A and B are shown apart, each in its own frame.
Chain A
């Protein structure tokens, strides 16, 4: 795990300011919930932390490193998408171990992460045919592939 510091983060699309200077410190191991009406920028902030959106000004650092210019893959972060975003052409197990495979860890090489698969009774199902149940479980388990880092989750209430 690692801490996140956000200092004066601003996001604007052209002339429209969306986030007007967010300051937020999240400690290691802390569990934070962002609440707000839809369109207020919760997901935008999450996506900025994950690196999917540019940071217009200000700084975001993860574990003491400023990550403004880092690619998502180099931030060592995990994210559960509200829509699950499972890769339809891979099985549930492949979906879960994909990040590990890319990181070339032993578990990824085995193509199966036993500890995580125990939670999922259908590791070999193609994710597109798996029912809603395995979907919901595969998406969060997949994301534990990141080693020691914050995990951002945009789940509906």
Chain B
């Protein structure tokens, strides 16, 4: 944005309001997380008696200890890591090859496939739970992590494919043609030239699918009934009993559940930076 040539006062107002708005958004977005943290370290006996305070007068780690040692939460957590991680990797691999073919090839039935993929995204998930349960039950895939992974992958592939396709569309065709002339097959060109350049897209897709699968509740609740195959969003519900809600423990579990998502994004964030292909072709 070009504000040069203006007086320092105007610059100050411009950048001041700029940062004020960003700051307001950040506060708005992060406050619930702060509250999560605050409640999770508040001892149970003063949770309701102190009124609304920004920070409790006493803090405690006992909620965390309870969640980690006395509850099933570590188990739920592991289930979620397996389900979300596998879903993210499988979905991204499928979406990468599908998106590449959509981006580069013209083939018979392409329009129909794209239309079908769009149609799958049009229905509310609630509508599909009964039929999916009917399909999975005879296969023995209800109440299992494998079933969840299959369902999540199926529902995430269409969107992930369109996402990957748009990233492949952004990479000049010339690059893989040059690679093919240089001595690669098309698949080698895809793997050695196109895929490294699409890493931001791969990272974005991985992150998107991972968080979607990580926080999914509806299917996890409906398709899984046993403790041993529950994921953590279902596990969080177990802190709500008929007569009370154990907020301290629930929030502690919530904070712990944030860790893998944060770690995952920390891991992929450097690939999320765009602009890797700048300068590939003369512009």
Contacts and interface: CB of A to CB of B under 8 A. Distances in A.
Interface centre among A83, A88, A127 (most CB of B within 10 A): A88
Interface in A122-156: 127-130, 132, 135, 142, 145
A52 B277 CA distance: 22
Given A52-B177, A73-B180, A85 B280 contact: yes
A88 B197 contact: yes
Contact of A102 (B174, B182, B276): B182
B278 interface: yes
Contacts of A129: 279
A81 B174 contact: yes
B53 interface: no
A50 interface: yes
Interface centre among A51, A52, A77, A145 (most CB of B within 10 A): A52
Interface centre among B172, B179, B280 (most CB of A within 10 A): B280
Contacts of A78: 181
A99 B196 contact: no
A73 B193 contact: no
Contacts of A87: 175, 178-179, 193, 197, 280
A71 B180 contact: yes
A83 B278 contact: no
Given A73-B183, A128-B276, A128-B278, A85 B197 contact: no
Nearest to A129: B279
Q: How many interface residues does chain A have, given as a range? A: 20 to 34
A72 B276 contact: no
B279 A98 contact: no
Contact of A81 (B177, B184, B185, B197): B177
A128 B280 contact: yes
Given A83-B281, A89-B196, A89-B197, A71 B177 contact: no
B184 A102 contact: yes
Q: Chain A interface mostly helix, strand, loop or mixed?
A: loop
Contacts of A132: 282
B202 to A, nearest CB: 14
Interface in A80-94: 81-89
A103 interface: yes
Given A89-B197, A129-B279, A83 B181 contact: no
A79 interface: yes
B178 A81 contact: yes
Contacts of A128: 276-280
B175 A85 contact: yes
Interface centre among B179, B181, B281 (most CB of A within 10 A): B181
Contacts of A72: 177, 180-181
Contacts of B278: 88, 128
A52 B282 contact: no
B180 A83 contact: no
A97 to B, nearest CB: 10
A46 B182 CA distance: 16
Q: Rank and list the top 5 A-B pairs by shortest CB-CB distance, nearest first.
A: A102-B183, A83-B281, A85-B174, A99-B182, A85-B178
Interface of B: 172, 174-175, 177-185, 193, 196-197, 276-282
21 contacts: A71-B180, A72-B177, A73-B183, A79-B181, A81-B177, A81-B178, A82-B282, A84-B174, A84-B280, A88-B197, A88-B279, A89-B196, A89-B197, A89-B276, A98-B182, A99-B182, A102-B183, A127-B279, A128-B276, A128-B278, A135-B279
Interface of A: 50-52, 71-73, 77-79, 81-89, 98-99, 102-103, 127-130, 132, 135, 142, 145
